[in-house]
């Protein structure tokens, strides 16, 4: 009962698994007996039934090894003292390992990029990152690129976006967010420093102590290992290399393409980036590395950029 009072949100199955892990030689009662003890001692809070969207595992089915796919998102925002706190979270889809939980003052790309650079330095690079379609992960620029996802592309990280309005496609990450909220933000801490310490404590417990039924009551730390892909130097990535038959153009500020004495606005997201132009019939296909952005066509003394290839 003492363990239940210490971890009131852990059910009988999870609590029994944690106690067994901590005391391998102990003979513990069954899960049913644990549940009965909780009920008899008033340690069970009845839950109101809710209609839930059936979970979908298909977006994560291809994550068959650590660092094949990371999931990233913000866990909303809430007031800490007199400041807003925006928790940026990153998990490994294969192991459920909580790689990062960072308290940020806003969702701007610059702060997210600084936080991710530290994450990449510590854990290496994933093969892909999955996010929603919101800022700063995506934008209305060609191919949905944002400054953040353009950086990922230069680092060799594939960006996967869930369908709009379908957070269940990132279901495991969303489920972690619920646990994070209950354990660290109900109520929030009184200061940002205390909130960061609460996040750090939660992360240690979530990764190394809290059993996960989907992992056969083992913990994420049993399955996760650091990526062997290192953050390159420079950390912002190098220009892409293009085939010899491509013409190369570097966008100027604020994302304008100047070519053969004419100009066209492409996107401010890729200002100062090197693009490749490939001749295709009467048009030129425009690429940012392997990603097609659209095409250029000529009209009298000007060029026109279209998102259609």
Which CATH number does the domain housing residue 183 bear?
3.30.420.10
Q: How many independent structural domains does the chain possess?
A: 3
Q: Answer positive or negative: Cα dihedral of 246, 252, 254, 259.
A: negative
On whether residue 164 sits in a domain, the answer given is yes
Same domain, 217 and 187: yes
149-178 pLDDT, tens digit each: 999 999 999 999 988 777 777 888 988 999
Same domain, 107 and 162: yes
**Strand, helix or coil for residue 74:** strand
On whether residue 234 sits in a domain, the answer given is no
Task: For residue 93, give its domain range.
Answer: 58-222
List CB contacts of 223: < 8 A, sequence separation 6 or more.
Answer: 66, 94, 95, 96, 97, 215
Which residue is listed with tokens 């250029």?
Answer: 296
pLDDT at 39: 63
Q: How confident is the model at residue 49 (pLDDT cuts 50, 70, 90)?
A: very low
Please report which helix (H) or strand (E) contains residue 2, including its range. helix 2-6
Lowest mean pLDDT among 60-69, 228-237, 254-263, 275-284: 60-69
Among 205, 222, 239, which residue terminates a domain?
Answer: 222
Strand order in the sheet with 247-250: 247-250, 274-280, 283-288, 291-299, 302-306
CB atoms < 10 A from the CB of 172, how many? Answer: 19
pTM: 0.79
Same domain, 26 and 162: no
pLDDT at 100: 97
Same domain, 67 and 200: yes
Same domain, 124 and 208: yes
71-107 pLDDT, tens digit each: 999 998 999 999 999 999 999 999 999 999 999 999 9
Same domain, 88 and 201: yes
Which of 129, 134, 105 minimizes the C-alpha distance to 116?
129
């Amino acid at each position: 009962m003492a363990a239940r009072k210490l971890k009131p949100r852990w059910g009988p199955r999870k609590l029994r698994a944690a106690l067994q892990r901590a005391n391998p030689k102990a003979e513990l009662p069954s899960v049913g007996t644990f549940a009965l003890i909780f009920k008899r001692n008033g340690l069970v809070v009845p839950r109101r039934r809710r209609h839930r969207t059936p979970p979908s595992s298909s977006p994560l089915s291809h994550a068959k090894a650590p660092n094949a796919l990371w999931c990233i998102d913000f866990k909303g925002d809430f007031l800490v003292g007199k400041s807003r706190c925006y928790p940026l979270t990153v998990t490994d889809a294969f192991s459920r390992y909580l790689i990062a939980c960072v308290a940020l003052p806003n969702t701007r790309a610059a702060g997210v990029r600084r936080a991710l650079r530290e994450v990449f330095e510590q854990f290496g690079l994933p093969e892909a990152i999955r996010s929603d379609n919101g800022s700063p992960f995506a934008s209305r620029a060609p191919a949905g690129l944002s400054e953040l996802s353009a950086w990922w592309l230069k680092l060799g990280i594939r960006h996967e976006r869930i369908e709009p309005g379908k957070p269940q496609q990132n279901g495991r990450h969303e489920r972690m967010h619920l646990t994070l909220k209950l354990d660290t933000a109900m109520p929030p801490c009184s200061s940002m420093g205390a909130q960061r310490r609460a996040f750090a404590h939660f992360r240690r417990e979530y990764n190394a102590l809290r059993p996960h039924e989907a992992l056969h009551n083992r913990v994420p730390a049993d399955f996760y290992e650091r990526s062997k892909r290192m953050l390159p130097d420079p950390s912002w990535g190098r220009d892409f290399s293009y085939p010899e038959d491509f013409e190369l153009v570097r966008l100027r500020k604020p994302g304008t393409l100047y070519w053969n004495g004419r100009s066209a606005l492409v996107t401010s997201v890729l200002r100062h980036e090197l693009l490749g132009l490939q001749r295709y019939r009467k048009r030129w296909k425009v690429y940012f590395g392997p990603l097609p952005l659209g095409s250029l066509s000529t009209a009298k003394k000007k060029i026109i950029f279209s998102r259609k290839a």
